[in-house]
Amino acid sequence: MKLAVVGATGMVGHVMLKVLEERQFPFTDLLLVASNRSIGKKLMFKNREYAVIGLDEAVAARPDIALFSAGGTTSLEWAPKFAHNGTIVIDNSSAWRMDPTKKLVVPEINAESIDSDDRIIANPNCSTIQMVMALSPLHRAFKIKRLVVSTYQSVTGTGVKAVQQLEDEIKGIEGEKVYPHPIHQNALPHCDVFEENGYTKEEMKLVRETQKILDDRTIAITATAVRIPTAGGHSESVNIEFENDFNLPEVRKLLSETPGVIVQDVPESNLYPMPISANGKDEVFVGRIRRDESRPNCLNMWIVSDNLRKGAATNAVQIAEYILSKKWAEIPLNH
């Protein structure tokens, strides 16, 4: 089994390698791939040194699976080239998510939608993944009618330069800026670029991707995405209006029984999800579960997860694990 990690030198790429090692993902050959400027750079994996190769060489090597985390432009150009050679591409960018011919997968929810002829599979947006992990069991039980979402997102979601900007500002150092305003001691209601409707791309990803993953375009969704000076994970305040009524013990039971979800909801003991405690973990944490007393059939929840792990790297690796678990993937995929 030949595995390629495309974008191996980036922030998500580093976490992908860590997750692959932790989960003991099986492979016979590992290709670490990056842009031309990183070719020849040495990276360590399981105490072995690997030299980074370029995209042309990686395509020619015909890996069975390629985990992509190299940005949308790279993915649009190169994912089809890998796929044409028989590689299954699991892409972490937004390039393919809303393509009607591509699957948008959170394994705990819709892995079974993947079949043997899928060659490009999309990994959802980080803030979408953690939200639908908590919403999916509730949607099946009570049918979601409307969502109002506010996110509080880590600078790690922007990348290594954003983390550096925050660190520079904390130290009082003048450095490169990736945000239009200071992020230290600030909150920016501006994640990604603004679209014509006044919402940002990040906000509209929450709308479009959630409807696609839950396979229900009737769910009305509105979102506000905010960047805050944290580095541990994304937080979300979610208000859910259901078509059918619920009781809180049943909601907590459904969430507690959902693989990958951990309920932390003992407010009288100050127990609730926080980025600082979600950092480095794969689970989605849910708390502050309470009825919205202003409207019937409405629920409030607070959802937190490490955006680089379940929100990106771990979800992609889980998709790869699912592919390997299928009988049609028991033999090398390129043969």
Q: How many whole angstroms separate alpha carbon 205 and alpha carbon 211?
A: 10
Give the tokens for residue 116.
């043997």
Give the tokens for residue 288.
């502050």
Nearest 5°: phi and psi at 26? -85, 130
Name the residue among 281, 277, 17, 12 with its Cα closest to residue 163. Answer: 12
Catalytic residue numbers read 126, 234
* Antiparallel, parallel or unpaired: β 88-91 and 120-122: parallel
DSSP per position, 144-173: EEEEEEEEEE-GGGT-HHHHHHHHHHHHT-
Residue 75 has, within 13 A of its CA and on its CB side, a CA count of 24
DSSP run (H or E) holding 314: helix 314-325
Give the bridge partners for 90, in sequence order: 67, 121
DSSP per position, 184-232: TT--BS--S-B-TTS-BHHHHHHHHHHHHHTT-TT-EEEEEEEE-S-SS
Q: How many whole angstroms separate alpha carbon 132 and alpha carbon 267?
A: 23
Give the tokens for residue 128.
């979408």
Q: How many whole angstroms separate alpha carbon 314 and alpha carbon 36?
A: 26
Q: How many whole angstroms separate alpha carbon 224 and alpha carbon 216?
A: 21
